[in-house]
Each structure stands twice: as structure tokens, then as C-alpha cells.
Amino acid sequence: MILFREEHTPRTLVESVDFISAPGTSPANVYRPGGPAALVTGRCVFSFDRQQGRFTLASIHPWSSAKEVRDKTGFAFDEPEACPVTPPPNPTMLTMIRGPIRDRIAETYPAFACDVLKDDSSA
């Protein structure tokens, strides 16, 4: 599962919460397939290490910086010595995002699919 949160602030990305409805990890004696693989925000991409139960900074979007990500993240995360810049999607990926992926997301989140994943290639 890839988590997505456009707003990347200490208010939205917190160290702890009062209630967890879907834990990212479970005790060894609890079978729970799946879980998060990554978290994509408006500033960066984090990968999730299930063994450690922690996020690692995987890439930083071109309009952001490592310092900004650190300052705007309310939880501890691992950071590589040199973090790559998030590459833009290629034409094939854009077609998938604006086509079948958008259509599937629209089943659950119609406003998000319409507003964020619109096909503006004809503009």
C-alpha cells in the first residue's frame, strides 16, 4: 500500500496518535499481510521498513529540500547521506495515472480523482 498525503506539516505527520485504525506493523504473532510500502507527500517520498517499523527518506521533490523535509516532519525518520531528487513521471506513467489509476481511485475518492488526477494534457 502506498500512502499519500499532500499536506506535509508537523500537524499532519506526527510522532504519535491517540487511536490507530490500521497499524503499519503488527506483533510477530499477529498475521497481517500488506501494510505500507511508501508514503508520498507534497515534499518527498518515504519508504517504509517493516522490520524497523520506520520510514526512510527515499527522495525529495525538486521544489523541496532535505532541511525543509526535516523541519516539516513531526516524526523521526531515517535519512541517507545523499538523497536523490524525485524523478518526474514519464509519459507512460502519466497515461496510467490519468487513466486506469484515476478511474480506480474515483470509485472511492471521486473528488480527489477529479481535482488532482485530471487529464490536463489537452490544455
- What's residue 38's pLDDT? 94
pTM over 0.75: yes
Q: Which class for 55: exposed (0-12), middle (13-18), buried (19 or more C-beta within 10 A)? A: buried
Domain ranges of the chain: 2-86, 89-123
The C-alpha cell that represents 12 in the structure block: 499532519
Query: Which residues, 6 or more positions from 112, have their beta carbon under 8 angstroms from its beta carbon?
Result: 105
Tens of each residue's pLDDT in the chain, 123 residues: 888 899 999 999 999 888 777 666 667 777 666 678 899 999 999 999 988 889 999 999 999 999 999 999 999 999 999 999 999 999 999 999 999 999 999 999 899 888 888 766 554
